[in-house]
């Protein structure tokens, strides 16, 4: 990216966020957005699928995981991996979650800058919720490990909605629970499925490039992309938003 293009991108990012003033609400996905957990899901799936001879016993790649599994609800993953035997796919997905929870309890770490953003949100008294396609047991475990149990006012789980992401329903449900306006809300998401859901809900969605390919995330039209919560682009935009609030 040239210097002029980079400056243009930053200007657009700042303008996109400033238009949300006064900011009321921030919604977060969980896996890959609060923590770099996708790599743990990938390792669990790779090991389990190889054991049962999926793909002729050739281990799945991280690229395959990012393109076909990351961010999806387990029902969709089961249908994709085992279209001719979805019940088997569901069982594999369920068993994978147990492996993931063990790995998470040992290895989970927050996305860089998360606690800086957490303090910013708390200092301004913003409403906040976590919205995920993960099973509730996973979501609650991750939130607890990260010390965010008292931070979130609500937790919306895709399987407890009529439609999971990429349908907008989980985000619309979160807005309803918080009695929040979509015009004054930000969503943080790391996956194609999640960004698609946020954009479809009519909410300004920021893409977090934890693991998933930049070009795939950009295609779903987030207002901008950040590397993590220490990204100067994010803080320049939040500063501009604060000035508009004032």
Catalytic residues: 29, 31
Among 1, 17, 2, 4, residue whose Cα is nearest residue 233: 17
CB atoms within 10 A of CB 23: 21
Buried b (16+ CB within 10 A) or exposed e, 176-195: eebebebebbbbbbbbbbbb
How wide is the angle at C-alpha 22 spanned by C-alphas 125 and 220, nearest 5°?
Answer: 100
Pairing of strands 154-157, 25-28: unpaired
Cis previous bond, 22, omega within 30: yes
State the virtual CA torsion across 99, 61, 217, 207 in degrees, nearest 10: 40
Q: Which residue has the tokens 């979501």?
A: 139
> Strands 224-226 and 154-157: what pairing?
unpaired
CA atoms within a 13 Å half-sphere pointing along the CA-CB vector of 230: 5
């Amino acid at each position: 990216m040239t210097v002029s293009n980079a400056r243009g991108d930053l200007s657009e990012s700042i303008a996109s966020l400033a238009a949300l003033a006064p900011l009321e609400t921030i919604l977060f996905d969980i896996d890959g957005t609060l923590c770099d957990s996708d790599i743990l899901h990938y390792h669990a799936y790779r090991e389990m699928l190889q054991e049962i001879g999926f793909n002729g016993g050739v281990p799945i790649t991280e690229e395959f995981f990012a393109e076909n599994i990351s961010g999806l609800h387990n029902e969709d993953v089961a249908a994709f991996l085992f279209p001719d035997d979805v019940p088997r796919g569901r069982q594999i997905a369920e068993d994978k979650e147990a492996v993931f929870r063990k790995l998470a309890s040992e290895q989970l770490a927050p996305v860089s800058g998360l606690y800086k953003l957490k303090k910013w949100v708390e200092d301004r008294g913003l409403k906040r919720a976590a919205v995920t396609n993960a099973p509730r047991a996973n979501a609650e475990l991750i939130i607890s490990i990260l010390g965010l149990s008292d931070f979130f006012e609500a937790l919306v789980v895709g399987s407890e909605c009529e439609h999971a992401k990429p349908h907008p329903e989980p985000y619309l449900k979160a807005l309803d629970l918080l009695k929040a306006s979509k015009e004054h809300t930000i969503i943080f998401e790391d996956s194609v499925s999640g960004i698609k859901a946020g954009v479809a809900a009519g909410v300004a969605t920021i893409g977090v490039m934890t693991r998933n390919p930049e070009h795939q995330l950009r295609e779903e039209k987030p207002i901008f992309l950040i590397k993590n919560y220490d990204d100067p682009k994010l803080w320049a935009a939040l500063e501009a938003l604060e000035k508009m609030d004032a």
